[in-house]
Structure 1
Amino acid sequence: MEKRSFTFEEIKLKMARYCAYQDRCHKEVEQKMKEFLLIPEAKDEILLFLIRENYLNEERFVRSYIRGKFNIKKWGRNKIKSHLKGKGITEKLILKCFDEIDYEDYYNTIKALYEKYYTKQTSGSSFDKKQKTIRYLIGKGYEYDAVLDSISEL
């Protein structure tokens, strides 16, 4: 397949659409721009345009990422944080945005996941089932202390 070349303005418009479709981080946008043969100055100019026009907003991206991964995938803070770090997001920004997760919701989610996973297990002693369930929750990114605090009331 032949690669089509685009003008600078076409690429700028494509990148604006790419960011408008869903929130993106800088790393994703830079990755996408590698598809186009651009000189570094042109890449910088497009990035500046996207930031200036609010197509690209790292904090907005982090906040929507945290909400989505917690509410939809039921991930814990540790897993969310490690995935965001993989996207080149700073720890300071991640910690600032964790207020997107309500404290009560977090603990209620741990309890609900615990009960669901625990009751699904058919064999083993209650101690084994409890340990296996705790390992499952830690694998989903929940902090060990948060898990213990949540299940102490069960």
Structure 2
Amino acid sequence: MQRSTKSYTLEEATRKMEHYCAYQERSHYEVRQKLISMNMIPEVIDVVAVHLIEHNFLNEERFAMAFARGKFRIKRWGRVRISMELKKKHISKVNINRALLEIENEDYIETFNELAEKKVETLKESDVYKKRKKFVDYFLYRGWESHLVYEKAHEIIK
């Protein structure tokens, strides 16, 4: 794969990144990676990042909150997975915790119970232990807290 050798002026890079951030919330890390892939030098990366932050194109807290809400509502991820994915995007602990507060506890438990009921119906396993293992693996992978998962597995798989 050949890397693009097109060079951008500071102005072009700034406009391109404004569009990139306006289209969808981005983390600081994603913006830096994009600028690096555009072959920008570190000094320019810093200038563009500062511009995006000053003009509110880039806001780590807003990104973290939107990410948490979206992954919970659309992908049905649990808090553990959301937190892990935000860490991968170099989001601060403070912003991760704020983002997780975006998920209402009632909605969280309601969603989990709904998903659990649906999942149990789809498991075609006669051995209770294997069925529980499949159930537990499914929910742990999606980042639901282990105590919730194990309690529910024992409650509905007998």
TM-score (norm 1): 0.89
Q: Compare 86-95 and 35-44 and name the one that shifted more.
A: 35-44
Distance (whole Å) between structure 2 residues aligned to residue 67 and residue 95 of structure 1: 13
> In structure 2, do the counterparts of structure 1 residues 123 and 153 end up closer, same or farther at CA, with 3 Å as the change threshold?
closer
Q: CA RMSD in A?
A: 2.1
Q: Which residue of 1 aligns with 2:10?
A: 8
CA deviation after TM superposition for structure 1 residue 150, in Å: 5.6
Q: Is the 8 A contact 2:77 2:144 kept in 1?
A: yes
1:138 aligns to what? Answer: 140
Superposition deviation, residue 104 in structure 1: 0.8
1:115-154 aligned at under 5 Å gives the runs 115-148=117-150
Cα 1:143/1:66, change in 2 over 3 Å: same
Query: What is the CA-CA distance between 1:92 and the residue it aligns to?
Result: 2.2
Distance 1:121 1:112 in 2: 15
Rounded to whole Å, the distance in 1 between the matches of 2:102 and 2:18 is 26
What one-letter code is carried by the residue in structure 2 that aligns with 1:119?
E
Q: CA offset at residue 133 of structure 1? A: 1.3
Q: Is the 8 A contact 2:136 2:153 kept in 1?
A: no
Q: 2:101 aligns with which of 99, 102, 120?
A: 99
CA–CA separation in structure 2 for the residues paired with 1:35 and 1:23: 19
What corresponds to 1:110 in structure 2?
A: 112
Report the alpha carbon displacement of residue 149 of structure 1 after superposing the two structures with TM. 5.5
Q: 1:143 to 1:61 in 2, by over 3 A?
A: same
1:93 maps to a residue whose letter is N
Structure 1 runs (4+) deviating above 4 angstroms are: 148-154
Shift of 1:122: 2.0
Q: Distance in 2 between matches of 1:132 and 1:5?
A: 51
Structure 2 unaligned runs (5+)?
Answer: none
> Which residue identity is paired with 1:8?
L
Following superposition, the deviation at residue 129 of structure 1 comes to 2.4
Matched ranges for 1:38-117 at <5 A:
38-117=40-119
**CA–CA separation in structure 1 for the residues paired with 2:124 and 2:37:** 50
CA distance in 1, matches of 2:29, 2:112: 31
Number of equivalenced pairs: 154
Letter of the 2:56 counterpart: N
Structure 1: which 5+ runs fail to align? Answer: none
Say which is worse superposed, 46-55 or 96-105, in terms of deviation: 96-105
Per the normalisation by structure 2, the TM-score is: 0.87
SS at match of 2:37: coil
Q: Secondary structure at the match of 1:132?
A: helix
Look up the match of 1:19. Answer: 21
Asked if structure 2 preserves the Cα contact closer than 8 Å seen for 1:111 and 1:151, the reply is no
CA shift, 1:136, in A, is: 1.5
